[in-house]
Each structure stands twice: as structure tokens, then as C-alpha cells.
Amino acid sequence: MPELPDIELYIEKIDERIRGQVLNDIRISKPFLVRSVDPPLSSATGKRISGLRRIGKRIVFGLEPDYWLVLHLMVAGRLHWHDDKVALTGKHKLAAFDFPNGCLTLTEAGTKKRASLYLVRGNDALAEHDPGGLEPLECSFDAFRIQLLRENRTLKRALTNPRTFSGIGNAYSDEILHAAQLSPIRLTSKLDNEEIRSLFDATRSTLEHWCALLRDQANDRFPEKVTAFRPGMAVHGKFGKPCPTCGTTVQRIRYKSNETNYCPGCQTGGRLLADRSLSRLLKDDWPDTL
């Protein structure tokens, strides 16, 4: 799923192309995408784009005077820019947004179609789409600490809960916890002030680093390779490979379709965390350490 750095880059590149432009048309090939009926989606056509913003992992298009298109890409949704109008052919193309200077298309790979598009009117209606998570790059340490300790959760869950922190998902939470040298299953209530400070600093530095790096890589191009698995990541998607910090083999915890990657050397004092499927199978044969 595209997370804060990826969404911010999308917003920057789309804003450069369509701010001030008139939305000539919205073409929908898969009706399930549109999740609102009032106002009708046709109300958006002919209106000028006033700007874009991010709400959590949602991309919000401002339409004059007070309409908002709210797009959630979910796991497999991706955006593409074309200088000319393109046909909505193929099973993965869900929608096209036509402008005088080009066309923005939405695709979604895979069989589980989860991407969603809403049209709402007014700030109150837009606020209903905000999960309420704290913006990690805009908050103070004190605000971060209060939000983190509001509920007793594992650090992995606390970082990825959209009602706690905004825009952080599975990939960047792995990177943040590795940078902070904290276990993903450590409970928030067990952290001391120094560890919370370390987590706060790692959250900001990790997200800022990837925002800057993705921006540099894209340069003036529209981002076409948005992925949760990037070569420069330390642990996410690196199961079985050496940690770039200490050389310890990166491990994982798998649960349903989710996977948490971590370094036992940097984060757990050499301890292997129980995998919810394999450790239950092995029971007493599950190793405690590397």
C-alpha cells in the first residue's frame, strides 16, 4: 500500500500538472470504485482544481468552490499520468480523470478490488474521511508521546494504526523500528522516555529521508514505480538477507497477508520472535535465538 512518502510524491507531481486546470470529465470503467452517490460524481466535471492534500493515505482533490474528490488507493491502486487522453481498456484500468493538458488514470492490480473514490461537498463531509491520526512530520515530541501512550499496543500496531499516526503502514513502520532499534512487539507502556525519543526521531528521520529520496529519484517525472519494497530499505522485504547495520539475518513475523521484518541483532537482543504460523507448528522446537 502506498504510504506517506509515496502519497506525498503523488500529490506533488499531480499538483504540478493539474492545479488550476478544469476537470473535463471522469470516466469510470468499474462501478464498484465509486462509493458515494450524493452529490453525484457528475457534479465534479467542469470544476477547477484548487489544489491537493493528503488525509492519512488518501489523496484529496480540491474542486472549486467546495467539492472534494477523496481517493484511497488501498494496496494495489496506482496512478499514471498521460499527456493525451487514453482509453480505459484492460481489466486493471478503473478510472480516468481528463484535463485540458492530459489524463490521470487509476489502475488496480490483483483480484481484490479495494480502491475507492468519493465525492463530498464541504469541509464537514471531508472531515468524515479523516481517521484522526497524528501527522508524524508535523507534531512535537510531547504530542507524539501522548498519542503513542494513549493505548497500550505493540509498537508495530501503534505506528500502523491510522487513528494513532497518519500515513504510516507496514513498510515504513519496519524501517522506523529498525532505525530506532526497537522490537515490533514491544508494548508502548513498557517504553521509557529515552526510547520514546528514539522512536520519535527515527519516525521523522525515516519518513523525511524517503520523501527526499523518492523526490530526487522522480526528478521531474511522474512516479511509475510505486512499491512497498525498495532496494534501499534496511529490513522491509529483506527476509533472509543480512542487516545493513550489523549483518544479522533479517527475520519475519507472518500473520495472514501481513509480514513484519526485523533484525534480531539490532532490535530484539538476538531473540527470534514467534511466527504466528510456523512457531505454532514447531511448538517446543521453535528456536528462541539465532
Q: Which CATH number belongs to the domain containing residue 62 in this structure?
A: 3.20.190.10
Strand partners, 68: 62, 120
For residues 208 and 259, what is the distance between their CA atoms, to the nearest angstrom? 23
Overall size of the chain counted in residues: 290
Residue 33 and residue 117 in one domain: yes
Amino acid identity, position 250: V
Range of the domain at 15: 4-127
The torsion of the CA quartet 274, 278, 279, 281, rounded to 10 degrees, works out to 170
Q: How large is the angle between the packed helices 193-218 and 141-148, nearest 10 degrees? A: 110
pLDDT of residue 282: 39
> Where residue 253 sits, what CATH number does that domain have?
1.10.8.50
Count CB-CB contacts under 10 A for residue 133: 19
The larger pLDDT score, comparing residue 282 to residue 41, is at: 41
Tell me the pLDDT tens digit for each residue of 133-166.
999 999 999 999 999 999 999 999 999 999 999 9
| CA atoms within a 13 Å half-sphere pointing along the CA-CB vector of 144 | 20
Strands (E), 100-234: 102-108, 116-121
Nearest-angstrom CA–CA distance, 164 and 161: 5
61-98, pLDDT tens digit by residue?
Answer: 999 999 999 999 999 999 999 999 999 998 899 999 99
174 & 101 share domain: no
pLDDT, position 280: 47
Considering the domain boundaries, does residue 134 fall inside one? no
Q: Rounded to whole angstroms, what are the CA distances from 255 to 206, 250, 280? A: 25, 17, 12
Q: What is the overall mean pLDDT for the chain?
A: 94
- Over the Cα atoms of the chain, what is R_g? 21
Residue 73, pLDDT score: 97
